[in-house]
Amino acid sequence: MAKPFTPEDLIRFIYQETSPDEEAGLKAQLTADPGFLSQYQHLLEAILMLDAFKMDPSETSVNLILEFSREQIEEASHA
């Protein structure tokens, strides 16, 4: 009996993190199961949209991180 694949398996497949055997099984299920293919297409679309969404940290956040780093270096140099 073939292993039932999950949405997590599809995500690993999209990111090319599956073994060759898993990849073959997923491709076979995508070909044979229209519902599974639809699920794959929705996940792929969501991942592509998330990858396209770029966020930059605020200047305040960057400054807080840099200040924390400076404090850690100063503390380490006095220890």
Whole-prediction pTM value? Answer: 0.64
What is d(CA 25, CA 36) in angstroms, rounded to the nearest whole number? Answer: 12
Residue 6, pLDDT above cutoff 90: yes
- Dihedral sign computed on CA atoms, order 61, 65, 70, 75: positive
Closest to 15 measured CA to CA, from 39, 37, 42, 47: 47
What is d(CA 75, CA 30) in angstroms, rounded to the nearest whole number? Answer: 56
pLDDT digits (tens, 9 = 90+) for 41-52: 999 999 999 888
